[in-house]
Amino acid sequence: SQKIEQNSEALNIQEGKTATLTCNYTNYSPAYLQWYRQDPGRGPVFLLLIRENEKEKRKERLKVTFDTTLKQSLFHITASQPADSATYLCALGVISNFGNEKLTFGTGTRLTIIP
């Protein structure tokens, strides 16, 4: 069966350290993978996209890697700050039965940065 698993429901990291979140998938062949941030009571907000032929993408303090052999993406936040505390969702861009791409989401990891 198809699955998208994020490493843990909750992750606590000391301020200033690097937070690393994991997204593993099975029985998907995604064209791309995205990461979103969700704050309580709000909708997810797009952060980064990485395509299947890309190994790494960076944006300010964020870095994403994508290994299609391992079927895994890693999401890093360097020099973490309390304001980075949120739930982070990975999402796979997959081809639907109707030929269009659609996003399928993991269940998310709740990240807390401890001052």
Q: How many residues bind other proteins (CB under 8 A)?
A: 23
Cα–Cα distance, 23 to 105 (Å, whole number): 10
Q: Which one of 7, 24, 62, 93 is in contact with other proteins (CB under 8 A)?
A: 93
SS3 (DSSP) at 82: helix
Contact status: 28 vs other proteins (CB under 8 A):
no
Q: Per CB under 8 A, does 32 bind other proteins?
A: yes
CA distances from 49 to 1, 31, 38, 70, 97 (A): 25, 11, 16, 18, 22
Cβ within 8 Å of residue 69, ≥6 positions away: none
C-beta of 96 vs 115, nearer to other proteins: 96
* 56 vs 13: CA distance, rounded Å: 23
Options 45, 70, 79, 114; binder of other proteins; rule CB under 8 A: 45
As measured in angstroms, the least distance from the Cβ of 6 to other proteins is 9
Rank residues 5 and 61 by Cβ distance to other proteins and give the closer one: 5
- In the complex, which residues of this chain contact other proteins (CB under 8 A)? 32, 34, 41-46, 49, 89, 93, 96-98, 100-108
